[in-house]
Structure 1
Amino acid sequence: MAAAHPLVIVGASYAGVQLAASARELGFEERIVIVGDEVHAPYQRPPLSKGLLTGKTSVDNLALRGPDFFAQNAIDLMLGRRATALDPGARSVRLDDGAVLDYGWLALATGARCRPFALPGSTLEGVLDLRTLDDALRIADAAGRTERACVIGGGFIGLEVASALRARGAEVTVVEAQPHLLARAFPQLMSSYVENAHRRRGVALLTGRGVRALHGAQGRVAAVELDDGTRIDCDLVVLGIGVLPNAELAQQAGIAVDNGIVVDMLGRTSAPRVLAAGDVASMALPPAPGVPARMRLESIQSANDGARALASLVVGREAPCTAVPWFWSDQFDLKLQMTGLAAPGDEVVLRGDMASDRFSVFYLRQGTLVAAHSVNKPAEHMQSRKLIGARARLGADQLADPSFDLKTVA
């Protein structure tokens, strides 16, 4: 196999692995190298805040691809290695051991990292965040000895961890600085539902509250102090305060960065033959009313869809990413599934009874279905994705009627 124009992928992530796989499927014959800074082979991330913490999933079941996949597809895995410098002019990337990899195409799939938490007490034992497999293993180990846990941050990761710890019998308090949980992702109706669902299952929620400091005893966290001086006793703190894109490699090379690496719908950056996908990429979106020009979508499916677009480019069969974004979250016995992009001002339509924990909320913009949030309604979620992709026009009365079959809409 020729190696004159190799594809070098920095990041052994969902996007990185999907790009390598799709490039091979589309006939890319040059060398493919994936550089990953973790020592673990590429693994699934959703179970880290779900099944791995509850014990329903084991480490042995986390592999992203089978053990023979990389060898069979002639994909070189360089694990435990970190890219430190990028030279777009020379088409080369330098690694932490001084090695230099030349590329024909370079793809940055470096993902994101946990947002720093620099308040007093942040270095105490028992203060953990969650991004990697090693992080999850530390939390799972601590959970077995935890009686009272405090989760700082009411986003998806924080709430998934809260539900997992509560399911293991711990008393759990969630502290969220915003007035509502999931404020960036959900409008008021869904935020209120999630809050009530957690409270009914025994989670204490404190919204609109900031954290002043963490306090310890003999080097281990013992309490969280809030902005009004209130103290929450706990023996485990899990931080879920969001992430930052790992865009420094691109920025240092002069590539355009704006809350992520700026890319078009094919994943092209401002540097020739340098691409980006996944959580690190701020990707252009198909033009539509009420939709931003581009977004950084932190989801597995968006990473995979973006990676497929990159693969189409490197083989010369351009297929821009136009897929409808979707995402899911498992919390207690609730499967939350989201698709499309809702915006303030959309018409909100409830289908079903929220008290039953089985319903969907639809969002119409000028009569066009643009987003849907479902709880324990997987069939409605799947149909919603198709309808949003088709820019289907429906009446609010149709969507609100559980007897109306969504599959009949052309």
Structure 2
Amino acid sequence: MSHVIVVGAGQAGASCVARLRAKGFDGRITLIGEEPFPPYQRPPLSKAYLLGEMERDRLYLRPESFYAEQDITLKLGAPVTAIDPAARTLTVGDEVLSYDDLVLTTGSTPRRLPAAIGGDLDGVMVVRGLHDVDAMAPRFAKGARVLIVGGGYIGLEAAAVAAKLGLSVTLVEMADRILQRVAAPETSTYFRAVHSEHGVDIREGVGLDHLTGSEGRVTGAVLSDGSTLEVDFVLVGVGIVPNTQLAEMAGVRIENGIATDAQGRTSDPHIWAAGDCASFPMNGQQMRLESVGNAIDQAECVADNILGEDRPYEAKPWFWSDQYDVKLQIAGLSTGYDRIVTRQGEDGVVSFWYYAGDSLLAIDAMNDPRAYMVGKRLIESGKSPDSELIRDPDTNLKALLKA
């Protein structure tokens, strides 16, 4: 009987095994995860879950009973220690398992601060898994002083939660502006104003020089401009690194993560990859997308191709971020844009449309789900409306889909 093993029990891994069963695969399926929890959602961890608005059980993607009902073997709290691609086996604890197809959905790991600048002090934390958030939750007490290092979406979302809970929040970003790597200046300006209204002290063009501590615990920070802060804890949001260690052990090609072809297969014909850890061919390069939508779609494509469909993965990038009462929805990839078209709505609703010449590339929509949905459909269908029509608040956006 054919055996598919999926290593990595996150969004991608859960999506892959569910898809295999839904498409009629009747062989053995084993899903292996390092954490002791069944697959769960990560985005609410630093928002609703940290705020105490969501119970742990509601984080789970499916009830644990689902896996037993679907005859999917769950091995949790079980790191894989070895892969032998020639024998098609992997080692979990003292058990050696044989596979016909192996899917790596190993995700990513947050970058941490070096120990040389105080990164190993107690109270210096990252936001990634349930354990991380459970450990930091008691520190989110009203009046506590938190330093957030990094002005990307993770850092800004953490700042929003901390400010809502009444903490004193300072956020430092080494680049000239927050969100510089991922968004237009207009989006940065919008969120800078939102955070300032909520009392967050945002310092741009300022990095962390080093942290100071007492008895092994962080107590302060010295910034690159020479200023100092007293802090009770530090949250680090300076990006993630794809988990490629198992792939390297298996000898498969690494390029911006675990390199796959258009079908999700690695350089080993029996090993596949999907999610944050995997790169795929797009626009002439190996692209890696860090998003829930990509994790689901890519993993389902891999499942289909294990079943022989030979279907190329066609990414349709979309993302979101919740900060205070603002829901940011993003569609497309803004890389290469040369101008921004602003569409202003009522009651502070706004969207920013990224153009390269006459081509629409992406949209950032703030509390404007209609603009987001139209923009997403336009981008996915390859349509680029005249930018002046987008700018005009009287334009019926839905009509543009029929043009």
Normalising by structure 2, report the TM-score: 0.95
Asked if 2 retains the 8 angstrom alpha-carbon contact of 1:150 and 1:172, the reply is yes
Distance 2:124 2:256 in 1: 27
The 5 A counterparts of 1:212-361 are 212-285=209-282, 287=283, 293-352=285-344, 356-361=347-352
CA distances 1:86-126 after superposition (whole Å, capped 9, x unpaired): 2222111122x131111111000000011131133222222
How far off its partner does 1:353 sit? 5.4
Q: Are the counterparts in 2 of residues 309 and 318 from structure 1 also a CA contact under 8 Å?
A: no
Counterpart for residue 393 of structure 2:
402
Matches of residues 10-409 of structure 1 in structure 2 within 5 Å?
A: 10-95=7-92, 97-118=93-114, 119-144=116-141, 147-285=144-282, 287=283, 293-352=285-344, 356-408=347-399, 409=401
SS in 1 for 2:298: helix
Tell me the distance in 2 between the aligned counterparts of 1:146 and 1:13: 34
Amino acid at match of 2:301: A
Q: Residue type of the partner of 1:99?
A: E
Cα distance per residue 1:249-288 (max 9 Å; x no partner): 1112221112200112221111111000000001222x4x
Out of 234-243 and 313-322, give the one that drifted further. 313-322
Distance 1:146 1:272, change over 3 A: farther
8 Å contact kept, 2:103–2:273 = yes
CA contact (8 A) 2:256 2:286 kept: no
Calculate the TM-score normalised by the size of structure 1: 0.94
- What amino acid maps onto 1:68 in structure 2? S
- Between the aligned partners of 1:300 and 1:323, the Cα distance in structure 2 is 12
Query: Is the 8 Å Cα contact of residues 265 and 309 (structure 1) preserved in structure 2?
Result: no
Report the alpha carbon displacement of residue 402 of structure 1 after superposing the two structures with TM. Answer: 2.3
| One-letter amino acid of the counterpart of residue 311, structure 1 | A
Q: Bigger shift: 358-367 or 41-50? A: 358-367
The alignment yields a C-alpha RMSD, in angstroms, of: 1.6
Shift of residue 138 of structure 1?
Answer: 1.3
Q: Quick check: 225-234 or 155-164, which moved more? A: 225-234
1:352 partner amino acid: Q
The residue type equivalent to 2:380 in the other structure is G
| Separation of aligned partners in 2, 1:349 and 1:9 | 43
Deviates more, 1:358-367 or 1:163-172: 358-367
On the 8 A contact 2:142/2:165 being kept in 1, the answer is: no
Contact 2:7 2:13 survives alignment (8 Å)? yes
Question: In the alignment, residue 39 of structure 2 is paired with which amino acid?
Answer: P
CA drift of 1:145 comes to 6.1
Whether the 8 Å CA contact 1:370–1:391 is kept in 2: the answer is no
Aligned residues: 400
Q: Distance in 1 between matches of 2:292 and 2:363?
A: 18
Uncovered stretches (5+) of structure 1, i.e. residues with no partner: none
